[in-house]
Structure 1
Amino acid sequence: MKKFGLIGYPLTHSFSKRYYDAKFEREQIKDVDYQLYPIESILALPKLISNDPQLAGINVTIPYKIAVMDYLHQLSPEAEAIAAVNCIRIDRQMGEPILTGYNTDVFGFMESLKPLLQPWHTSALVLGNGGAAKAIVYALTQLGITPHLVSRRPEGGQYTYSQLRADVLSEHLLLVNTTPLGTYPDIDSYPDIPYEYLGKKHLLYDLVYNPAATAFLKRGARQGAAIKNGLEMLELQAERNWQLWNS
């Protein structure tokens, strides 16, 4: 049996386990298992892997996406550029595990965004500057879109929310929310931007997927903007994980 799973702490709920359990049943995939591994310290990772030779792949979530890199033997180009890993492939040579790290958030975001892009989507505002924003910035750059970060406490070259005037929004027709604002149960929160300056050429993408239509997306839609939530991104990155684990 091949085993897969998710490491993080705490793991109170998991999109990944629900997704893969449903996939295994739907596609009648046998002799596989996906479990949650809520390890309190990343120091527990080597023992977890060595104790279970059937473990062939791991997803990584908060707070280990960066710390896990110290335990990997090699990185994919996007994981190295972003300096964050959410997927590990485990190969075993002479019984010794060889760990390769990937960031499949990049693939999921790019593939879900591509069908929505129009010729005028050449510059983007990325709301937030945390770990998720790094993957989005990398993906946008790969697509030929110039990203600009927006933060409450900006560093060099970033916008503050107070700087998002009409001229800035008219120059950036793609907006990506990488903050947790609007996530259930805090569904009434949203990024503090001047939504009145949005129009029909704008595209709003929210990494949040619960609820399906966040306050951020609803406010954009009322101005005529196209909108997209993060569910398909998660589904696509999950499928990419599966490909990497089984190639």
Structure 2
Amino acid sequence: MRQIDSKNGYDRILMISIRKVVWYRNFLFRHRVAKICVLIELNGAMKSSEQLSKINGKTKIAGVFGYPVEHSLSPLFHNAAFARLGLNFVYLPFPVKPGELKIAVQSIRSLNMIGINVTIPHKEKVLPYLDEISPEAKVIGTVNTIHNKEGKLIGYNTDGDGFIESLKKQGGFDPKDKNVFLLGAGGAAYAISFALIKNGIKKLILVNRT
């Protein structure tokens, strides 16, 4: 991520590579999490006896649906945060094959999970199985977060808002009234484009390699 001066009419151009931004955010978060003394395996399997001893009948379940999902760092991040905040929650990775998505979504209710993150390849295909979809997620066409609100499953897309928050707080950059040059046109880029427009950018240039 870098800002450059331009002589072709743009005051400042924010050059964004989606992969680099995601790596940058993950690096910062890993650095913070590393300071938290929580015994959680990187694969999210919760092998530590100390962590297992904290799970009981009142433990609230959250997690991530994806396939494959073993590479996800979400269990590490979320379980560290839960421990830090003293919450009786557990976050688990669920490898959900494409043909198992419907029953997996139904299990959110049956297991009374508090919520689920959704990743590849289910972000679009999960929409028909939800009770309600946020206006923003409808426009973007993908969901990455499901909230179980007393048995009602509500889908959200937080990619764009998360990016903007990181951009402002960690990058010290407010995109309002700025010209933005965005590299990439995938699902994350679409969500980020929507969020940038919502936050009042002046102009958006979207570039993709295909």
For normalisation by structure 1, the TM-score amounts to 0.55
Q: Which has the higher contact order (CA 8 A, sep 6+)?
A: 2
Are 2:198 and 1:142 aligned? Answer: yes
Counterpart contact for 2:109–2:148, Cα < 8 Å? no
**Partner of residue 188, structure 2:** 132
Paired letter, 2:158: T
- Matched residues, percent identical? 41
Cα 1:76/1:50, change in 2 over 3 Å: closer
Equivalent residue for 1:35, pick from 88, 92, 95: 92
**Partner of residue 152, structure 2:** 98
Cα 1:47/1:78, change in 2 over 3 Å: closer
Paired letter, 1:152: R
Equivalent residue for 2:140, pick from 82, 87, 96: 82
Cα distance in 2 between the residues matched to 1:60 and 1:140: 22
Task: Give the aligned length.
Answer: 147
> Which runs of 5 or more structure 2 residues have no equivalent in the other structure?
1-58
- What is the CA-CA distance between 1:11 and the residue it aligns to? 0.7
Deviation >4 Å, runs of 4+: 118-121
| Cα-Cα RMSD | 2.0
Equivalences for 1:173-192 in 2 at 5 Å? Answer: none
Are 2:103 and 1:44 aligned? Answer: yes
Cα 1:132/1:119, change in 2 over 3 Å: closer
Cα distance in 2 between the residues matched to 1:55 and 1:147: 39
Cα distance in 2 between the residues matched to 1:111 and 1:85: 18
> Which runs of 5 or more structure 1 residues have no equivalent in the other structure?
154-247
- What is the CA-CA distance between 1:123 and the residue it aligns to? 1.3
Q: Deviations over 1:148-202 (max 9, x none)?
A: 210122xxxxxxxxxxxxxxxxxxxxxxxxxxxxxxxxxxxxxxxxxxxxxxxxx
**Partner of residue 71, structure 1:** 129
